[in-house]
Structure 1
Amino acid sequence: MTDTWDVEALDLDAYLARIGQSATPPSAEALAALHEAHVRAIPFENVDPALGRTPRLDLASITAKLVRRQRGGYCYEHGLLFAAALERLGYEVSRRAARVQPHRNGPRTHMNLVVTADGVEHLADVGFGAGVLRPMPLADGAVVDQAGWKHRLVRDGRLWTLAKETAEGWEPLHAFDDQPQRLIDYEVYNHYTATHPDSPFTGRLVVMRLDHGISRKLIGDTLVVERPDGSQESTPVTDRAEALRALDVVLTDEELAALEA
């Protein structure tokens, strides 16, 4: 099915250089290294929807934006890019869709992946708001430390739920099943996410970065820094361009001016 996703449009060497990795044979260890490198190198950001633009999901456009321009993107861009790279490297990949905040009747708009490595299926989730640093074995009750925050997978029939440990207990993040998606499905989800007034990614800037022991989020004009111990700092941003540079989001002068406007 590689023709369906046009994975040959990806410049694999440029992508690997972007995330600081080299091509190695498929394995669970190599998958974990690629996953973490991708999350740490490529920002999660919604600059285009914040400016009233709908991101394009063809792989050539994603490569031009996230790889060559050193921009970031949101889940569809991250997921389609990572899936193509994995398939070019020899991994078996299934593209999925998840319902965000299923306990609060959230929408089914998130793209994630199920990737087979060393004969084991793993959840790969490079585009979930920079919240998942490493892949997780697709096993009921599996718990993986994600940069200091514990995450757990629970299975109920065909449904898998990813949850994050908080002071109040396990908070469901998203839920997905075993139904593979097509590109047209993501085009539909993308249209809603980039244009609907109820989408969290329209009308305000959202940038998220994750590293070991620290999560940084720029929401509108507020920078929020969180740590695994539950501490949190919120700081008003007076220089948006400087804040974006600190979060590794590289914009043109025209894009910065449009954001200010």
Structure 2
Amino acid sequence: MNQTLSPAQLAAYFDRIGCIGYSAPDRGPHQATSDTLHALHRLHPQAIPFENLDALLGRTPRLDLESVFAKLVTARRGGYCYEHNLLFRAVLNTLGFETTGLAARVMWSDPAAMPPRTHMMLLVETPDETWLTDVGFGSMTLSAPLLFDTGREQTTPHETFRIDLIERGDFLLQVKLGDAWKPIYRFDLEPQFPADYAMANHYVSTFPESIFLNHLIVARVMPGERRTLFDATLTRRGKASGFEAKRELTTAAELRGVLQDVFGLALADNETSPPAGGLDTVLERIIRSSVSTPS
């Protein structure tokens, strides 16, 4: 059974993403159309950052809808793919869209690898079209849904993407960077269920070699640019001008300030969570590691 939000939760979500005209259940259009899908898909990653602080704090994020809503909307935190796309799916279900949860093998870091299916995204139906949506892929989160039309180059507010059909009914999502196409993830159309995401979530938040346990990863899609934080390196990339600016952070206080001011995360003073220690302890560790291993 697909989960939905209450009228009060839907209003709070619209307020969280700054969706003017949708701020209350009795205001604004709520049709399950491509225009609505595009509007929500553009605003969600601008307002709610991608981040993996819970995993660094030794926690496995809870994936029940109440917990996800409390964290991303009420507490004004961010999350990673399961949290973002589970919340987004509940919003779409509430508005009357037909959605299917999918899973992908991430090829972004190593195109030659065949990793497990640890990424979540959605297939969404509108009256005349089928769309691939994904509001939770870190530094390359989509800023618009993609028509599920293989081989077609599709322009978004940021990059150009393409879905290719490859072997054995698998598909490959790629992004055009400069003149080259880079693979993002490989997937098929087998529907995924809560147990599938629970298993993958446990793996990426507890496996010692998981990137989410070894690095701080934060990302936010802004109008005309992307902002990313990898450990202590803050990067801004502009779409129109093609500029890239990097800044190396040197103290935990500076790192905390960027999380709050650049990415808009609401952070507790110094939450403790064994075995990782409090947030300040984690940030200090990231700074020390970055200084000892310069990029």
Match of 1:173 in 2: 184
Give the ranges of 4+ consecutive aligned residues of structure 1 lying more than 6 Å apart after TM superposition.
none
Greater mean alpha carbon deviation, residues 146-155 or residues 55-64 = 146-155
String of CA shifts for 1:48-80, please: whole Å, max 9, x gaps: 011111100000000000000010000000010
On the 8 A contact 2:143/2:158 being kept in 1, the answer is no
Aligned positions, number:
258
When the two structures are superposed, what TM-score results if normalisation uses the length of structure 2? 0.82
**CA separation in 2, counterparts of 1:143 and 1:168?**
13
Match of 1:74 in 2: 80
Structure 1 segment 1-261 matched on structure 2, within 5 A: 1-2=1-2, 6-8=3-5, 11-21=9-19, 22=22, 24-101=30-107, 103-105=111-113, 106-129=115-138, 131-156=141-166, 158-167=169-178, 169-228=180-239, 231-238=243-250, 239-245=254-260, 246-255=262-271, 256-261=279-284
**CA separation in 1, counterparts of 2:280 and 2:18?**
31
Q: How many angstroms does 1:98 deviate by?
A: 0.6
- The aligned amino acid for 1:180 is P
* 260 and 172 in structure 1: CA distance in 2 versus 1, 3 angstrom threshold: closer
**CA separation in 2, counterparts of 1:253 and 1:16?**
27
String of CA shifts for 1:187-246, please: whole Å, max 9, x gaps: 111011111122211122110011233111111111122234654322111301211111
**CA separation in 2, counterparts of 1:124 and 1:87?**
13
Q: How many angstroms does 1:13 deviate by?
A: 1.6
Name the % identity.
Answer: 39
When the two structures are superposed, what TM-score results if normalisation uses the length of structure 1? 0.92
Gap regions ≥5 residues in structure 1: none
- The aligned amino acid for 1:28 is S
Structure number with greater Rg is 2
Q: Which has the higher strand share?
A: 1
Gap regions ≥5 residues in structure 2: 23-28, 272-278, 285-295
String of CA shifts for 1:82-120, please: whole Å, max 9, x gaps: 001100110000000011007322331100000001321
- The aligned amino acid for 1:117 is T
On the 8 A contact 1:51/1:258 being kept in 2, the answer is no
2:135 match: secondary structure: coil
**CA separation in 2, counterparts of 1:258 and 1:29?**
44
**CA separation in 1, counterparts of 2:123 and 2:95?**
15
